[in-house]
């Protein structure tokens, strides 16, 4: 910028010298000088407008330049938005606080209770046609979609009160442990805002930046959210119907098996089961293999079905389950065995309550 500024000045001086014989009075001289100052002012202002504000942190300025170069985002718009974005220490505290070591029973009571069961029945009755349509298209049972929405936001009544721009910016630049992930989600959020035409500072969500009735992260919003009510826009914050279709689409894209089991209780008759627990929650072992190892499902399951051995800590007693492909898919929504089991249990309870 300084070199260009000097070059412009040199050109003006040369032009001035060349035209000196023609400058018969001071008015002409001042007119030329005024023109030069005006041109320099406009040029200098445009140079400043093409750079992020120096008041912003260097990491954020670099991020703005990246968004401009990679996605043709307007730097002025981003500079203005980031200048109004707030660092949130409470977000860092919430995401850094380890989950309490609670038992499965304690966790279950938070989500599988009469309030959520009754709310789930009401939600299902209100959107019975839309849930049936989602099951037909995506293969996901109504009660599973209802249970996920019930656990995530109590059927849309608690979608979060943190500005998503604040939360994601704080985590992207002040949470080194997962900075890369949240920087990617911040990038996805900016792209989502442009696509959906909402204000960057207008959307509120969870302290981790999850949005709307189903609590989708921005990347998932862009990849999996659908316009299920066919009104020409995708609105996970205001449309329960879009949320229903989006949850069904999300689960199918992660491999939901229509009509497949989720989980069954298991009996252990061998001391050599630890290796199956340590193998993780992805279903890699056939029921036949598990039977031969002394691990038996308590419900009838085909021998060639793949499953994973799960343990739920329950006040000193050991509770064992077998999780199938659909259980694993639910953990792609939230990577917690307790979470997936709560969805499974709440879904069963909602279906039973509605049937009765």
Q: What is the pLDDT of residues 178-198, one digit of tens each?
A: 999 999 999 999 999 999 999
User: What's the CA gap between 202 and 193, in Å, rounded?
Assistant: 10
Q: Are 140 and 262 in contact (CB under 8 A)?
A: no
Q: Give me the percent of the chain exceeding a pLDDT of 90.
A: 79
Catalytic residue among 142, 143, 152, 187: 152
Mean pLDDT score, 110-119: 98
DSSP 133-202: HHHHHH---HHHHHHHHHHHHTTTT----EEHHHHHHHHHHH-GGGHHHHHHHHHHHHHHHHHHT--TTT
Strand 204-205 versus strand 162-163 pairing type: antiparallel
Residue 27 has a pLDDT of: 59
Kindly state the average pLDDT of the residues 113-123.
98
Q: Which residues contact 211 (CB under 8 A, 6 or more apart)?
A: 159, 160, 164, 203, 205, 217, 218, 221, 236, 237
Query: What DSSP line would sit under 232-291, residue for residue?
Result: SS--TTT-HHHHHHHHHHHHHHTT--TT---EEEEEE--STTHHHHHT-SS--EEHHHHH
pLDDT in tens, 271-326: 889 999 999 999 999 999 999 999 999 999 999 999 999 999 877 788 999 999 99
Least confident of 32-36, 185-189, 329-333, 352-356: 32-36
Share of the chain above pLDDT 70, in %: 84
pLDDT at 55 over 60: yes
Nearest CA to 210 out of 181, 245, 177, 251 is that of 181
Among the residue ranges 18-22, 221-225, 252-256, 300-304, the one predicted with the least confidence is: 18-22
Q: What pLDDT is attached to residue 33?
A: 52
Mean pLDDT, rounded, for 104-128: 96
1-48 pLDDT tens trace: 434 444 444 444 445 445 545 544 555 555 545 554 444 444 444 443
Residue 129: CB atoms within 10 A of its CB come to: 9
Average pLDDT, integer, range 147-175: 98
Please report the pLDDT score of residue 314 as a whole number.
77
Q: Is 289 a catalytic residue?
A: no
Residue pair 310/273 in contact (Cβ under 8 Å)? The answer is no
Q: How far is the CA of 175 from the CAs of 122, 167, 169, 171, 172, in angstroms?
A: 40, 11, 10, 5, 6
pLDDT digits (tens, 9 = 90+) for 197-220: 999 999 999 999 999 999 999 999
Given a cut of 60, whether residue 49 has pLDDT beyond it is no
d(CA 147, CA 4): 62
Q: How far apart are CA 216 and CA 213, in angstroms?
A: 8
pLDDT at position 179 is 97
pLDDT tier, 117 (very low <50, low <70, confident <90, very high otherwise)? very high
pLDDT at 43: 41
Residue 240 has pLDDT above 60, yes or no: yes
Mean pLDDT of 87-110: 89
Average pLDDT, the chain: 88
Q: Which residues, in sequence order, are bridge partners of residue 323? A: 263, 308
pLDDT score recorded for residue 316: 72
Angstrom distance (rounded) from CA 347 to CA 314: 21
pLDDT at 241 over 70: yes
In this predicted structure, the answer to whether residue 89 has a pLDDT above a threshold of 50 is yes
Mean pLDDT on 123-127: 98
């Amino acid at each position: 910028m300084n070199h260009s500024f000097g070059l412009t000045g040199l050109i003006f001086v040369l032009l001035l010298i060349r035209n000196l014989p023609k400058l018969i009075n001071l008015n002409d001289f001042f007119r030329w000088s005024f023109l030069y100052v005006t041109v320099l002012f406009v040029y200098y202002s445009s140079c400043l407008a093409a750079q992020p504000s120096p008041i912003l942190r260097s990491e954020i300025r670099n991020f703005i330049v990246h968004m401009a170069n990679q996605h043709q985002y307007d730097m002025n718009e981003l500079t203005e938005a980031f200048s109004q974005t707030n660092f949130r220490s409470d977000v860092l505290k919430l995401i850094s606080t380890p989950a309490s070591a609670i038992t499965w029973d304690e966790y279950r009571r938070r989500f599988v209770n009469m309030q959520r069961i009754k709310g789930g029945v009401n939600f299902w009755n209100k959107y019975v046609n839309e849930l049936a349509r989602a099951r037909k298209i995506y293969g996901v049972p109504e009660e599973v979609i209802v249970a996920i929405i019930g656990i995530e936001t109590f059927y849309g009544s608690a979608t979060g009160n943190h500005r998503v721009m604040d939360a994601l910016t704080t985590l992207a630049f002040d949470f080194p442990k997962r900075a890369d992930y949240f920087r990617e989600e911040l990038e996805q959020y900016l792209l989502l805002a442009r696509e959906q035409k909402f204000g960057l500072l207008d959307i509120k969500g969870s302290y981790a930046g999850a949005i709307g009735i189903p609590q989708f992260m921005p990347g998932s919003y862009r990849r999996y959210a659908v316009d299920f009510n066919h009104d020409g826009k995708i609105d996970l914050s205001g449309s329960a119907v879009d949320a229903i279709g989006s949850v069904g689409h999300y689960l199918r894209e992660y491999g939901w098996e229509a009509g497949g089991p989720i989980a069954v209780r298991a009996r252990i008759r061998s001391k050599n089961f630890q290796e199956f627990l340590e193998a993780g929650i992805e279903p890699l072992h056939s029921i036949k293999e598990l039977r031969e190892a002394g691990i038996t499902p308590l419900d009838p399951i085909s021998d060639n079905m793949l499953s994973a051995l799960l343990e739920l800590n329950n006040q000193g007693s050991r509770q064992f389950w077998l999780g199938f492909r659909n259980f694993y898919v639910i953990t792609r929504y939230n990577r917690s065995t307790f979470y997936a089991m709560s969805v499974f249990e709440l879904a069963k309870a909602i279906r039973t309550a509605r049937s009765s």
